[in-house]
Amino acid sequence: MKRKIIITVILSFFIILLVGYTISKNNHNVLTSGHQRDELVIYSSHPLDFLRPLIEEFESKTGILVTVVSGGTGQLIERIEEEQDNPYADILWGGSLSSLKSQSYLFEEYSSINEDAIQEEFKNNEGMLTKFSDVPSILMVNTDLIGNIQINGYKDLLNPKLKGKIAYCNPAVSSSAYEHLINILYAMGNGNPDEGWDYVKLLCDNLDGKLLKSSTEVYRGVENGEFVVGLIFEEAAAALVANGENIKIVYMEEGVLSTPDCVSIVKNSPHMESARTFIDFVTGYEAQTMVTTELNRRSVRADVKTPKYLKAKDEIKIIHADDELVYEKKKEWIQKFKEIFLDINEE
């Protein structure tokens, strides 16, 4: 009898715990379903390691729940074009000014509350292309593999010892690869892009048929030792340099284009207020400071300093492209590169 009483007490205890858990869980579900959280869908070409800390901070500050769809800039723009009648994305985050300007019609006009703090050269003069960070094109070198090969600029990529060991991405799918194509045309054409195509032919030959599918493949390929050198954006290499990896950044001696990347609201965004809040957040002092101190990029704000381990802009040979010509020639230049690459690899 005594034993039955003990068993009954124990069972009653567990029943109370179970009921308590069920009530607690049900109450949580009621609270969750009763409080509709604001949402935001972001299409982004940035690496996830770069996105994560900024998005977590944004969610924490605002309570807005973020969904990220990753892809190459070209792929994401195509998706936004396909979805114009029924947009899924609210924000396109990533993509250089040069690669996005011809698609300005896909984005809403909006000027962030921080526009007065943005450096003059990075102002949102277009109305719908907010500048997020300053991104020089660079060469990323694996110091374990380079040996005695000298790489100071584009001309050194024609060294026969580097044949098949150069990482470069298709400029049709990656804005960083397209920026390098523009950089090459102006730097190797001495300011005249028409004169740069002879170099493009020689470079394509030295790629030895290898054209990668994303900028991620470029910097991962160099980091992992599949390639000796890659044509990439500064932050991808800077993050590894900051961690003491076997990587060196080379600013091309022939000249470097330093182009801003953008963050923009998709036309007819489903969550317009959340999208505007996001633009204001990522251009704010706190987020832009995080960009430089934790994420190895150059800020577009006048009141945020460049990381000390990155070369000062006045120590780099900065060159400039004709923005209107780049805008006009984008499709033509991408098609011409494709034809050159295919012709060389069919020979």
Residue 268's contacts (CB-CB under 8 Å, 6 or more residues apart) are 84, 87, 108
The phi, psi pair for 23, rounded to 5°, reads: -60, -45
CATH (one of 3.30.70.20, 1.20.1090.10, 3.30.70.120, 3.40.190.10) for 39-134+260-310: 3.40.190.10
Q: How many angstroms separate the CA atoms of 114 and 51, rounded?
A: 20
Count CB-CB contacts under 10 A for residue 302. 11
pLDDT band of residue 236 (cuts 50, 70, 90) is confident
Q: What is the pLDDT of residue 82?
A: 97
- The helix/strand/coil state of 319 is coil
- CA dist 264 and 283 (Å) reads 12
Task: Please write the tens of the pLDDT for every residue from 271-316.
Answer: 999 999 999 999 999 999 999 999 889 999 999 998 888 899 999 9
pLDDT digits (tens, 9 = 90+) for 210-219: 999 999 999 9
Residue-wise pLDDT tens digits, 74-90: 899 999 999 999 999 99
Domain boundaries for CATH 3.40.190.10 within the chain: 39-134+260-310, 135-258+317-346
- The pTM assigned to this predicted structure is 0.80
For domain 135-258+317-346, give the CATH number.
3.40.190.10
Cα distances (angstroms) measured from residue 126 to each of 116, 187, 262, 264, 272: 15, 26, 11, 11, 19
